[in-house]
Chain A
């Protein structure tokens, strides 16, 4: 997103307040501060060493002069100093030799030099070093000693050069740090603005998708990194959202369609009743009441399914003995089965499962109800409970009915779905298996439909 002239100040403020930029700025500040501290420490350390070695050479030079004086008296010293003056060295010693009256005998320093004297010994230098501000105006470091017979010698060494060098190094480093800081901030600004641009383009794409067509997806980001991951996650979120939206639309279409039929029927019956009010029998009214009850039952079942599908886990879960529960269900349906001479058998050993007994009972009752309904006379239904691997419970309900074709097997779980052939033959509102699936999923389980050749095998898996 290129920044236009009008939006530039807004854009700059946005970048400056962005998380990335603030992070980089903080990082730079800490980095600069720590580098400065390190430099200061190094500077102190090196200058201390420098003064240490400087003072050592001065002491050595004084010793040399003492030796010369001892051997060749003041004349030797004067010759030595004159010789030294002739050597064109950058870093050489400066001398001052005074007689007992304070008169200059030899050397290249003024008789009364205006440099500052420290307290005797080298301790004075340490103090000067620690308090740098006190000693900057001193260009020489010196020490004097008595040669004997009233002669005094002072050896000094100029350290302005070293001082200049070190301040040069220091100021170079300082400038380099300032440059680093500025370049870092500029770099930070641009990297923050590029991150911001990417996030903003994600934002604008997302809001466009939300406003418009939910089937659109974010452009794939080729560059590896967080933005790519984010866009992949957002795309999968959009997938989920779209499938939910489609699901809701499909369900409400179904509801509208399947509830319209009985409502229309009821409307017609009422119209007929209104037309022939004088000949109406209580049965006519009962029919309408019955129709109404059916509708209410459908609504209740729908409500239950959606409560189970969307509802959080309730606290009513207990330890349920699946075998005992299945015995109860089978016992409930046994008279219905024996009316049709169906052989209904149960094989189950005690198994504890965590769940809501009423819901589990409803689920198996619905399945067994279907099995009894669709199994022809003299058929057989088998209920089997077995432990699956890792404590999973598996219930098989197999019947010898007509079964469900492969094409219908997925659809039968949809609300109001009824197989064409059973629409007219069997009563029902087409919600029984939807409820079964909702209950199984509520318990983190699953329902599978398999062929039984002939018939249907229902497999319920519960954790």
Chain B
């Protein structure tokens, strides 16, 4: 993945760039908004990571400017401003995702992966079934089966599985699940998500030989192989 990182704090920026390289991605690091705009216009990137508070041109203006000139590259805002208002403003400006500092590198990587795959995947609005190996979900009849054996899921378990299947092979973090499956932005104090995932795992993996849903240490979960 070819990443353009715009972050004015050298320490944070170099750390992210190093981690991205370690994870096998190419990363170009810029420290101000105008330089980043030039760079984004001249070179094709897979994904942009943009800090909100930047010298010369702030992050949201940078995103708006790029979007106005027809750029459809996925962009992720990285910001210390984490209130609901800030998030809404960030997403309104044209960003695809919003991550609040401090964040874990696993969370950032997982989100970048999702953004990257989403932009590359063919539009899937007409898709009526999701399949991961022998696990199959019919989006119309809401029927889930594995190895042709029908599984009975609770509504929330169905939603959870649907999200995991749509992001099969990718790491999905707990925060991403909370946002997309439960629809709330909040900070769980305990491992409440883990309990839901383990219930789902009981249903889809217990009776079968190869487990599909695996826990990625320190990051989240992954359905299917990488």
Contacts and interface: CB of A to CB of B under 8 A. Distances in A.
Interface of A: 286, 293, 296-297, 300-301, 304, 307, 311, 314-316, 328, 331-333, 335-336, 339, 356-359, 361-362, 365-366, 369, 373, 427-428, 432
Given A358-B186, A427-B190, 10 more contacts: A293-B104, A314-B85, A316-B88, A331-B156, A336-B190, A339-B195, A357-B184, A361-B186, A362-B187, A369-B188
A337 to B, nearest CB: 10
Nearest to B81: A307
Contacts of A427: 190
Dominant SS among interface residues on chain B: loop
Nearest to A299: B102
Interface in B79-126: 82-85, 88, 102, 104
B192 A336 contact: yes
Contacts of A333: 192
A336 B184 contact: no
Contacts of A373: 190
A366 B189 contact: yes
Interface size class of B (residues with CB under 8 A): 20 to 34
A369 B184 contact: no
B189 A358 contact: no
B84 A332 contact: no
Given A315-B85, A316-B84, A316-B85, A358 B185 contact: yes
B44 interface: no
Given A331-B156, A335-B199, A336-B192, A307 B187 contact: no
Dominant SS among interface residues on chain A: helix
5 contacts: A328-B184, A332-B192, A336-B192, A359-B84, A369-B192
Residue of B102, B182, B187 ringed by the most chain A CB atoms within 10 A:
B187
A315 B199 CA distance: 38
A300 B102 contact: yes
A286 B156 CA distance: 32
A328 B83 CA distance: 21
Given A314-B85, A315-B85, A358-B84, A365 B196 contact: no
A291 to B, nearest CB: 14
A297 B186 CA distance: 12
Contacts of A328: 182-184
Nearest to B185: A358
Contacts of B185: 358
A379 to B, nearest CB: 17
B195 A335 contact: yes
A72 B105 CA distance: 140
B195 A336 contact: yes
A335 B104 CA distance: 27
Contact of A428 (B182, B189, B195): B189
B199 A365 contact: no
A107 to B, nearest CB: 108
A428 B190 CA distance: 9
A300 B187 contact: yes
Given A296-B102, A332-B192, A339-B195, A365 B84 contact: no
B108 to A, nearest CB: 14
Contacts of A362: 184, 186-187
Nearest to A431: B189
A366 B82 CA distance: 19
Contacts of B199: 335
Contacts of A339: 195
A432 B190 CA distance: 11
B187 A301 contact: yes
A358 B196 contact: no
Contacts of A428: 189
Nearest to B190: A369
Contacts of A301: 187
A361 B184 contact: yes
Nearest to A428: B189
A304 B83 CA distance: 8
Contacts of A365: 186, 188-189, 192
Contacts of A296: 102
A330 to B, nearest CB: 11
- The 3 closest A-B CB pairs, nearest first, are A362-B186, A335-B195, A316-B84
B83 A307 contact: yes
